[in-house]
Structure 1
C-alpha cells in the first residue's frame, strides 16, 4: 500500500477510536424526513444511506459557489473541485461518475422535484442555486436504482420556502484571486401564495493563467395553496455563464514546476466555454384523503453551450476546434402515494408512478484559428435522448402480536426504456454518421430493516441498476486499423449499457443525547463497464470492459459535547477495480499502441480512503432552524483528507495524484439589530498552504491529468437580512 493510503487508513482508525468509548443513552431519533427511494420517511428509519445537509451547513461550508463545498462531509461521495469553471466540479458516489471529463455522469441530479439530468445520464452541478438552498439530500445504494438510468447515486436540492414575513437578504463575498459573489434574495407570502426569488453574480480572476470566469444565476420558487390539500409549486431558474476560461490540465512535471500555469495551447487557442440555460417547471400535489396523495410535474428548458478547445496538430500550431450544443429538453411525470393502515399483516406505505423525459440538441463543430472560428462546419448533427419509465415501491411494516413493528420489508421495481439517436446533417464528407440504439432494463430492489431499539435500526438491501452511455460517449467511433485508424464523429450503436448489482448492509444508531452514528458496508459488481478506448485531439471513443467491482465501508459520527461544542466525522473506504483485463489504445505522435489494462487495476479518479473531520463551536449554541445561523460568535475547523488516486486506467506513475490533507477554518458572527440581522464571516481554506491536485482529468490523451488545488486562500463575507 502506498504511504498516502497508509496514512489515510490511520486517520480512519483514529476516528473509530474516538467513537468506541461512547456510552449508550436512549434518545429519540431526529424527525428529519427524506426521500428514501421514492417514499418519504424519517431519515433514521430509511433503509438506505441518506445524507442530509441543511441550509445552515450549506452556507457554513463556503462561499456557496460549488456543490463540492457542501458535499465534502458526505461519506461515499468524492466531490473534487477542478477550480476550472469551464468543466464544472467532479462528483462521484460509490465510484459512479468518476470517469466524467466534465459535468456529471452516472448520478441523478434533481432540483425542487425537477430532473436536472438528461435521459442519457448527463448533468451539470453548476446550475444548482446554493444561495437559496434549504437542504441537500444524497441517496446512495440499491434504493437509488429506483430513479432509473445512471443512478449510481441521487442528489436532490430543495429551495427554501418563503416565511410569513416578507424579507430581503443581501450578501457579498470577497476572496483571493479576485473572487466576488454578490447575492440578493427576496421572499414573502401573501395569503396562500409564497415567493422566493434569488439572484447571484459570481466572478473570479482564477488562480491559474487562463482561468477567469463569470456566472449569473436567477432562481425562484412560487408556492400556492390552491385549496386545502392542494399545492402548486412553480420553479423558474436561469443560468448564464458568459465566459469561463479553460486552463486545461497539466502533466505531472508541469504541475510540480508551476501549478499556476495553463496547459499546453490553452493561451494560444484561447480555450474557454460559455453557457446559457433557462428552465421552467411546475409541481402539483393533491391530497385525495389522509391516506392517498398525488403528485404531477412538468418542465421545459433550453441550454446553449459553446466551447473552444485546444488543438494538437504540430504542423498547424494555431489551429484548435470549437463545439456548439443547442439543447431543448422537457418532461413530465406523475406519482401516487398511499397508506394501508389496518391490515392484519401490518401497515403498508406504497407509491407508483412514471417518468417521461426527452432532450434534443443540435451539435455543431468546426476549426478555430488563434481561438476564433475559422471556416465552415466540419460537424453538424441532431442528437436525441428520451426515456419512458414506470416504477413502484412498497414498504411493509410487519406487526407482531403486541402491535409493534420490529421489521420493515422494502421492495421496489422500475422499468426503463431509454433511446439514443443521432441524425447526421453534415454529409459533405461522404459519410453518414446517423444511428440509434434502444436500451431496456428492469431494476428490482429488495430490503429488510430491523427496528432493534428506538435508538437502533439495522438494514440490508439488494438491487440491480444500469447505466447507458451518454450521447457524448456514443458520439465517436474508431475507424481504420493500425496507424491509419482515427476517431470519427460517427454515432456508435455498439456500446452496451453497464449492468450493476448492489448489496448494502448498515445501521443507524443514536447512542447518546446529541450523538448519532450511521455506518454501511456495500459491494457492487458491474458488467459491461463503459471505459475509454482511444483519446485523441479532444475526442474520446468508448468501449465496454467486461467487469468491475466496488466494495467499501462508510461511517458518519456526529456528537454534541455540550451546547457550544460539536464534532462531525465521516470516513470512506472504497476499493474500485477492474475485475477483468481489457485493451485500450494510446496515441503518441502518429503511432497507435495497444495497451492491456490488467485485472486488479483501480478505477481512475477514486481515492481508496477519504476522511472529513470537523470541530464546531457556537457561542450561544447551535440553531434549531435550518434557515437561521447561531447568534453571536461561531467557528469551525475542518480537515479534508484523501489518499492517492490514479488518473488513468493504466495506474502508471505519470497518472498518480498523491494523497493529501487540507485544513479549512471559518469564523462567523451573527447579530440582531431589532428586526434586522447581520452576518459576517471570514475563512481561510488550505490553512497550511499544501500543494495538491484538486482533481484529475481521467484518461487525458496527452497525460495532462492534473488540475491543481488552490493554495492558501482567504474569504470575507457580509449578509444583511431585513423585513420588508
Structure 2
C-alpha cells in the first residue's frame, strides 16, 4: 500500500520460518552435544510463584536473564532490549522516552499507551507497580542489575492485582574485593551514556552505589531526552541469621520530548518527522522519582525463615500534550504521587503425609499510593489555566499462601491462593458547577485467586507440569479518570462503574535437559477473560474505558539454550499466540462509532515471534559468578516479529490503516577485553538493524487521531569503553 514506507516491512513471507531453520542449524542434535560439550549450563534458583526453587524444577514458565546478557545489550537503557528473548513477552521499544517501553506478557499489558500495566514489576523485593497495577520500567537500573526474572502463567497470579506476568530485577551485591567501574557509551542520533559504580565490603556491611546518565538527540524530531539515576543497595549481615538490605533509588528525567505517533501516510512520507502539533505544542514530559526501602530476612532455624519489607517514595510527573480538534491549544497534566507499603512473609518446610516434604509460604502485602492529579489547557507548551484538581488514591490489603507438596519420588503438587482487596477513590478538589459537578467517587474490588498444579518428575532430566489458576485486573487510576456521560461526551470524573477483568489460566509445560549442555523448555497455555477493559471513547487526548468483551488467548512457547563448547553457545525462543475478542462491541474513536467484531485480534500482540542468538568467545565463556574471560567475543542476534494491529477494529482502509507489518532484524555485538596493570578494560561495538530495514517498533493502541505508529530505528551503532579497577 502507498501508506507504508517503501522499503518497509518487505520481509520475506517466511521470515520466521527462515529463523527457525537458522535455529535448527545453530542447535545440532542433543546426542552430538552430549559427546562434544565441555561446559555445562548453569542452574539458578528463581522465584517459583512465592517460593524459591531451582529453575529446572519450578512448576512454571520462568525465564532468567543473567548479568552478562544485561551487559552485552550495550548501553543498558531499555529493559525491552533484554526481554526480546523471553518467551511470551512482547517487548516494544517506542524510541520515545516520554512514554516508556511497551511490555506485555501473554497479552496482558498490551493496551497500555504509556508505562507498564497488567504485569507486576518488582525490584529487590520492593514493588515497582502501584496497587492499581500501573508501573514504570524506566526506573529499573540495568547498569547495576545482577539478573532479571520473568514469571508467566498461573503462578504469577499469586502476586495479586494485574499480575498477568511478573518481572523481577535484582541488584548485584558487593564482592569481597572493593571495585570501581566506569562505563562510557556513544552512539547514533546523539546518544551518550555514562555510568559510575562502586562496590565495597567492610566487615559485615556491603555496598553497591551506581550513578548513571543518559542523553539522546533522537532519530525523530522533537525526541531529545535527558535523564540520570542513582541506585544503591547496602547489605548488613547484622547476625549470622539476620540480613538487612537498604535500597535507595532516585530517577530524574528533566525532560523527554514526545514526537508522538504517525499515521500510515505520515510514516510513508518521512518516518523521522514529528507531527506539527508536537512541534507547536512542545510536547514533552518531566519525571522525578525517589524511593527507599528496607528488606529484613531472619532465619529462625533450618525449617523457618521470616522476611519483612517496608518502602516509601514520591514521584512527580508533568506532561504537555498536543492540540486536538476538541482542544485546539493543547493541554497539560501534572501528577504528584506519594506511595508506601509493607510486607510480611514466613517461609518454611515440614514433613507431611508419611514423611513427605512440603515447602510453604504465607504472607501479606499492604500498599498505598495517593497522587494529586491536576490538568488544564496549554498554549505553545505552557500552562494557561487549571481545569482539573483531584486527589486519587489506590490501596490494597492482600494475603497469600503457597505450598509445594512432595508426593513420593516423582510428583509434586503445587497449591496456593491470594485474597485481594483493592480500593480506588478520588476526591474532586475543583469548585462544583452545574456543568461540572462533583467528580469524586470510590470503588472496592475483592478477589480470591487460587492456583493448582502438578509436576511429574518423569526422569532426573525431564519434568512435565500442568497448572491452572484465576486472576484479576482492576482498572488503573488513569483508566478510571474519565467517565462517558453520553455516547460522545467524556467528563473528567472518576468512573466507579468499571469492573475488574477476571481471567482463567491453564498451562501445560515441559522442561528437558537431554545433556548437561542443553536445556529445552516448552509450554502451551490458554487464558480466558471476562469483563475485559476496553476503550469506549477516545478523543482530544482523553480516553474513557468500559467493560465490553471477553477474550481468549492461546499459544505455544519454546526456549532452547545450548552450550556447544566452552567457546560457543547459542539460544532461541519462539512464541505463537492467538489473542481474540470473544464478543462484538462498539466504541467511539476517531470521531465515529466503530464496531469491533467477535474474532478480532487484540491490538499490539503479534501472532509470532522468534529470537535466536549465536555467541563466540576467544578464551571461553566464564562460569556463573566469575568475571568474563579476557580476549575477543562476538555475538549475532535475529529478532523476527509478525504483523500486529494497532486498534480493536483491525481496520485496514486507506483512511484508517492500523496494521504494523512484521519484520526481521539482525543485531551484532563485538567485545574486546584486556588486562592493563590492575585495571580491566573492555571495548564494545554494537550495530542494530544490520540490513537497515524500515520497521515499526511499537504501536499506540486506539490512538484517536490515527497516529498509531512509532517507527523503529534505521541501522544504528553504539561504541563503549568499560573499565574495572580494584580499590
Which TM bucket (shorter chain)? over 0.9
Write the mapping of 1:111-150 to structure 2, written as runs, cut at 5 A.
111-150=123-162
Quote the residue 1:325 is aligned against.
335
Q: Alignment partner of 2:70: what SS?
A: helix
Quote the residue 2:486 is aligned against.
480
Checking the alignment, whether the CA contact within 8 Å between 1:5 and 1:608 is kept in structure 2 is no
Give the distance between the partners of 2:701 and 2:249, measured in 1 at CA. Answer: 31
Q: 2:662 aligned with 1:663, yes or no?
A: no
Quote the residue 1:422 is aligned against.
426
Checking the alignment, whether the CA contact within 8 Å between 1:8 and 1:610 is kept in structure 2 is no
Quote the residue 1:510 is aligned against.
513
Quote the residue 2:359 is aligned against.
349
Write the mapping of 1:559-570 to structure 2, written as runs, cut at 5 A.
559-570=562-573
Checking the alignment, whether the CA contact within 8 Å between 2:11 and 2:664 is kept in structure 1 is no
Aligned match for 1:10, one of 12, 17, 34:
17
| CA displacement 1:428-467 (0-9 Å, x = unmatched) | 4441011100000000000011111111111110000000
Checking the alignment, whether the CA contact within 8 Å between 2:184 and 2:722 is kept in structure 1 is yes
Quote the residue 1:493 is aligned against.
496
Aligned match for 1:539, one of 530, 537, 542:
542
Quote the residue 1:360 is aligned against.
370
| Structure 1 residues 412 and 359: alpha-carbon distance in aligned structure 2, compared to 1, 3 A threshold | same
Give the distance between the partners of 2:123 and 2:634, measured in 1 at CA. Answer: 30
| CA displacement 1:494-552 (0-9 Å, x = unmatched) | 11000000000111111123111011100000001101111001110001122101100
Quote the residue 2:45 is aligned against.
33
Q: 2:225 aligned with 1:213, yes or no?
A: yes
Checking the alignment, whether the CA contact within 8 Å between 1:498 and 1:527 is kept in structure 2 is yes
Give the distance between the partners of 1:348 and 1:675, measured in 2 at CA. Answer: 49
Checking the alignment, whether the CA contact within 8 Å between 1:28 and 1:454 is kept in structure 2 is no
Q: 2:580 aligned with 1:577, yes or no?
A: yes
Quote the residue 2:269 is aligned against.
257
| CA displacement 1:34-80 (0-9 Å, x = unmatched) | 00000001000000000010111011023100000111111110000
Q: 2:410 aligned with 1:406, yes or no?
A: yes
Give the distance between the partners of 1:413 and 1:5, measured in 2 at CA. Answer: 46
Quote the residue 1:628 is aligned against.
627
Checking the alignment, whether the CA contact within 8 Å between 1:475 and 1:490 is kept in structure 2 is yes
| Structure 1 residues 662 and 16: alpha-carbon distance in aligned structure 2, compared to 1, 3 A threshold | closer
Give the distance between the partners of 2:345 and 2:143, measured in 1 at CA. Answer: 29
Quote the residue 1:371 is aligned against.
381
| Structure 1 residues 715 and 16: alpha-carbon distance in aligned structure 2, compared to 1, 3 A threshold | closer
Q: 2:697 aligned with 1:703, yes or no?
A: no
Q: Alpha-carbon deviation of 1:10?
A: 2.1
Give the distance between the partners of 2:526 and 2:629, measured in 1 at CA. Answer: 40
Quote the residue 1:402 is aligned against.
none
Q: Alignment partner of 1:122: what SS?
A: coil
| CA displacement 1:602-622 (0-9 Å, x = unmatched) | 000010000001110001111
Quote the residue 1:22 is aligned against.
30
| Structure 1 residues 721 and 30: alpha-carbon distance in aligned structure 2, compared to 1, 3 A threshold | closer
| CA displacement 1:309-353 (0-9 Å, x = unmatched) | 001138x75x11000000000000000000114751510000000
Write the mapping of 1:292-311 to structure 2, written as runs, cut at 5 A.
292-311=304-323
Where does the alignment leave 5 or more consecutive residues of structure 2 unmatched?
1-8
Give the distance between the partners of 2:56 and 2:188, measured in 1 at CA. Answer: 40
Write the mapping of 1:2-401 to structure 2, written as runs, cut at 5 A.
7-11=14-18, 13-14=20-21, 17-18=24-25, 21-23=29-31, 25=34, 30-313=42-325, 317=328, 319-341=329-351, 344-374=354-384, 376-399=385-408
Q: Alignment partner of 1:44: what SS?
A: helix
Give the distance between the partners of 1:357 and 1:627, measured in 2 at CA. Answer: 38
Q: 2:704 aligned with 1:692, yes or no?
A: no
Checking the alignment, whether the CA contact within 8 Å between 2:401 and 2:417 is kept in structure 1 is yes
| CA displacement 1:346-395 (0-9 Å, x = unmatched) | 10000000000000000000111111111x31000000000000000000
Q: Alpha-carbon deviation of 1:476?
A: 0.4
Q: Alpha-carbon deviation of 1:8?
A: 4.7
Q: Report the more deviating stretch, 21-30 or 389-398.
A: 21-30
Give the distance between the partners of 2:486 and 2:42, measured in 1 at CA. Answer: 61
Quote the residue 2:554 is aligned against.
551
| Structure 1 residues 463 and 345: alpha-carbon distance in aligned structure 2, compared to 1, 3 A threshold | farther
Q: Alpha-carbon deviation of 1:629?
A: 2.5
| Structure 1 residues 235 and 421: alpha-carbon distance in aligned structure 2, compared to 1, 3 A threshold | same
Checking the alignment, whether the CA contact within 8 Å between 1:389 and 1:416 is kept in structure 2 is yes
| Structure 1 residues 290 and 28: alpha-carbon distance in aligned structure 2, compared to 1, 3 A threshold | farther
Quote the residue 1:456 is aligned against.
462
Give the distance between the partners of 1:42 and 1:577, measured in 2 at CA. Answer: 35
Give the distance between the partners of 1:505 and 1:582, measured in 2 at CA. Answer: 32
Q: Alignment partner of 1:267: what SS?
A: helix
Give the distance between the partners of 2:115 and 2:169, measured in 1 at CA. Answer: 17
Give the distance between the partners of 1:16 and 1:494, measured in 2 at CA. Answer: 49
Q: Alpha-carbon deviation of 1:628?
A: 2.7
Give the distance between the partners of 1:563 and 1:623, measured in 2 at CA. Answer: 8
| Structure 1 residues 445 and 29: alpha-carbon distance in aligned structure 2, compared to 1, 3 A threshold | farther
Checking the alignment, whether the CA contact within 8 Å between 1:345 and 1:398 is kept in structure 2 is no
Checking the alignment, whether the CA contact within 8 Å between 1:296 and 1:334 is kept in structure 2 is yes
Q: Alpha-carbon deviation of 1:594?
A: 2.1
Quote the residue 1:639 is aligned against.
638
Q: Alignment partner of 1:268: what SS?
A: helix
Q: Alignment partner of 2:278: what SS?
A: coil
Give the distance between the partners of 1:429 and 1:711, measured in 2 at CA. Answer: 52
| CA displacement 1:447-492 (0-9 Å, x = unmatched) | 01111111111111000000000000010011234xxx32110111
Q: 2:449 aligned with 1:443, yes or no?
A: yes
Q: Alpha-carbon deviation of 1:667?
A: 0.3
Q: Alpha-carbon deviation of 1:13?
A: 4.8
Checking the alignment, whether the CA contact within 8 Å between 2:590 and 2:706 is kept in structure 1 is no
Where does the alignment leave 5 or more consecutive residues of structure 1 unmatched?
400-404
| CA displacement 1:174-231 (0-9 Å, x = unmatched) | 0000100011001100000000000000000011000000110000000000001100
Q: Alpha-carbon deviation of 1:632?
A: 0.7
Q: Alpha-carbon deviation of 1:623?
A: 1.5
Q: Name the Cα RMSD after superposition.
A: 1.7
Q: Alpha-carbon deviation of 1:257?
A: 1.1
Checking the alignment, whether the CA contact within 8 Å between 1:75 and 1:570 is kept in structure 2 is yes
Give the distance between the partners of 1:73 and 1:672, measured in 2 at CA. Answer: 31
Checking the alignment, whether the CA contact within 8 Å between 1:193 and 1:222 is kept in structure 2 is yes
Checking the alignment, whether the CA contact within 8 Å between 2:16 and 2:640 is kept in structure 1 is no
